[in-house]
Structures are given as C-alpha cells and as structure tokens.
Amino acid sequence: MDDLVVVGAGPYGLSIAAHAAAAGIGVRVLGRPMASWRDHMPDGMYLKSEPWASNLSAPGGRHTLAEFCAGRGVAAEHGRPLSIGTFSEYGLWFAGQAVPEVEELTVTEVTPQGDGFRIRTAEGTQLLARTVALAVGVMPFVRHPEALHALPPGHYSHSTGHRDLARFAGRDVAVIGAGQAALETATLLAECGARPCLVARRSGIGWNTVPPPLERPAPAALRRPHSGLGSGWRTWAWAELPWAVRRLPAARRERIAATALGPAGAWWLRDRFERSVPVLLGHRLHRAVPVGDRTRLGLTTAAGESVVLDVAHVIAATGFAPDLARLDLLDARLRDALDTVGAGRTPELSSGFESSWPGLFFAGLLTAPSFGPSMRFVHGAGFTAGRLVGGVRRRLGARSRPAGPLGTPRPARAGRGPSEDVSAVR
C-alpha cells in the first residue's frame, strides 16, 4: 500500500509530489504531466502571470522557471509575457528534476477501502493508498452558459477545447466572456483569419495595467506592493495570506473566492484585441438555436432590446465552476459525506488541506473557497504543496499509532481530527 497517491500531474500535483518525495513519503503520481497546458490551450497563448510568480514548488525553492529558461537561452523577465508552450516545457522539466516517475494513467475511481483508498484507472491498474491528494486541475469543472446546452455538440465548445484555432479561418465565431481566456481566444481567432465577435454581459472590459518595476523607491513599493497575483495591497493579501482567508466565516470565503480578482485582460493583449475584435458589451445570451450548420444566438441588451447574432460556431470562454458533484472519479457516497464550505459544493478543509474524510486531501480550484483566490493560479501551488504534505505526514503518523480494528473511517469534521495542527496555520 502506497503512503500517498497524487491524482493529477499539473503544477499542483507535481509540486505536491516534489515535497512528498523530499520528505521521504512513498508517493506515486498519476496523470498526464501538464495536460491542461499542453492539450487545452491554443498555440500562441501567453502566461498572464509574471515569470517569477509562475514557479512550481520544490523544497528550498529549487527548479524555478528562471533556471529552466536560463538553461535554454529564453528570457524570463518581469513585464515580458512568456509563452504557454515554454511554461509547459518547464513543467515537464520540473517533473524530471524533482518528482518520482509520473505514471500516465487516467484515474476513474477513488473509493474508501479499509483504512485507506482503492484507486482504479482506465488502463486497468489498481492501487491501494493510505492517503490520496486530488489535484485534478480545472478540466472537470468547465462551465458553459445554460443557453448553449440545447445545441448539438458541434455547434459550440469551451475555450479549453482547442489546441489549434486555425480550423476557424474564414468563419464567424462568437466568443462568450470577458476574461483573459475570452479576450485572448478572440484575438488569436482574428489573427488566424477567423471573424470573431466578443459577447459579454459586462458593460466594459477590464484591463490590467502595466506592472510597476520590481526595483523602485520604497514609498512606491509601499503604496503598491508586488505579489504573485499582481500589485496592490488587496491583491497582496490574497496571494500571501491564504492561511488568514481560511479563518474567515464560510460565507465570506465563498464570496471572496467568487468575486476577488475578477475578469480582466492582460495589458500586453489590449492593442492586439482592440484593433481586431468587434464587441457586443452589455449583451446577455438568453437563447441559442441551430439553423442548419450555423447557430443563431438571441441576445438581450441592458435596455431590454433584442439582438440576433448568426455565427458558424460559439466558443464559451466562461471559466470553471468548482463543484464536488462534477468530480465523477470520487466515490459518490464518499463525496456526499464530505463537509462542504457554507452553502457551496466544495470541500471544507483543514489547515493541511485534508477534507473531513481522513486521508483525503484536495488541491487547486476546489480549495479556493477554503483558502482564497490564489488557489486558482499557479502561484498557489507553493503554499499548497508544503502545507498539504505536512497534513499527509500528520495523517500517516496518526495511522501508525496503535488503534482498534480497522474499518472504513468515519468522517470527522474538517480541522478537528488528528490532521489539524493549529501551529501550522502560520
């Protein structure tokens, strides 16, 4: 039986595995390394975060993005966007440097068994683990506007569904959304020869400003400090104090996770977007019907006027909805037994990222309502990996002590079982 099985091999899964291996924990990593970045983002996209804020996490701060880029003659500079392709290659390099062999297996089921878990894969492999860390990324949680659900599948897609946008050359494409994914997808479509139109409920598009220099006078740095999620004191708090977010009431944490760091485009994209993409702002999508091989969208303006848009395809760049109910690989009875955050459907977690089911840990998007918006970004992997591995060590220690007959663990409320260590919160 393995001490820890990490499900997922993106930035969070690889960082957790690096810390676990360094701590001497018997860890196995299952998944396709950097799958979301390699398979679900179009050629030509760039990181929105600064290179220095986009490191995967290994003990001692080793194996950074800057180190990888320096070894290949690639500039990783503040204020200069880095391609998604380079970042994906960095993740693969990090895995080779800091992580035990990643097993490219697709996990289909995680079920309680005895004092641990049984993991099944699509390839037929079965494993037993004392603890499991689910670092499944964002793909299980893609969100589409409800109005699109009645369309045949070929008429619409999510922005994560395209590696190459050149297939839309010469075609009319509606892009739904107002965040970076929508703005950059629409721009790349235009640059590939398509005819995109951005449709958004918002009355305006938010754009991030050019980041201030890293080196600047102390008064300027105090007024607008840098952080892994951007500049400014509020952003700094979300980036650097996730332990403090966890101490807030559940309803407030949910609100922060849903609203903080809202949709905005990168400063370096603005000129490209504005000269190539027409927009319909303040338009709400209320209906979508197929008309032959095209799609007719019914839109409503803020003034209540109806607008009809006829396109060849619709791309929903509408983000992700973290919800345990969409995590099909997790045993349904176990999933339903978990304590959740407030009225939502995300797991309530201890300071060590352990759920109310002993030995079951979470990382990434599903943890944002517990620890705040940094969990939606690569930057959050550093905080998560060390704390989660500490939680795993405490859980393994608790299970190594004499106990009664082993059976299926009874769920304990998050933060009140052996895994909780209040001193670790800071």
CA distance 235 to 230: 6
pLDDT above 70 (res 175): yes
DSSP code for 32: -
What pLDDT, on the 0 to 100 scale, is given for residue 264? 94
What pLDDT, on the 0 to 100 scale, is given for residue 398? 79
Q: Alpha-carbon torsion 211, 216, 220, 225, what sign?
A: positive
The per-residue pLDDT of the chain, averaged, comes to: 92
CA distance 258 to 248: 15
Q: 51: which residues sit within 8 A by CB, 6+ positions away? A: 65, 66, 69, 76, 77, 78, 80, 82
Q: Alpha-carbon torsion 206, 186, 143, 231, what sign?
A: negative
Q: Which two tokens stand for residue 75?
A: 């500039």
| Residue pair 186/279 in contact by the 8 Å Cβ criterion | no
| Strand 2-7, strand 107-113: pairing | unpaired
CA distance 301 to 298: 10
What pLDDT, on the 0 to 100 scale, is given for residue 401? 52
What pLDDT, on the 0 to 100 scale, is given for residue 418? 34
pLDDT digits (tens, 9 = 90+) for 370-408: 999 999 999 999 999 999 999 999 999 977 654 433 334
Residue appearing with tokens 């965040």:
179
| Residue pair 391/419 in contact by the 8 Å Cβ criterion | yes
Report pTM.
Answer: 0.91
Domains detected in the chain: 2-141+320-424 (3.50.50.60), 146-207+264-316 (3.50.50.60)
Q: Which two tokens stand for residue 212?
A: 């201030």
pLDDT digits (tens, 9 = 90+) for 107-128: 999 999 999 999 999 999 999 9
107: which strand partners?
Answer: 121
| Residue pair 261/238 in contact by the 8 Å Cβ criterion | yes
pLDDT above 90 (res 425): no
Indicate the pLDDT class of residue 57, thresholds 50, 70 and 90. very high
Other Cβ atoms within 10 Å of 213 Cβ, number: 12
Residue appearing with tokens 């409920």:
201
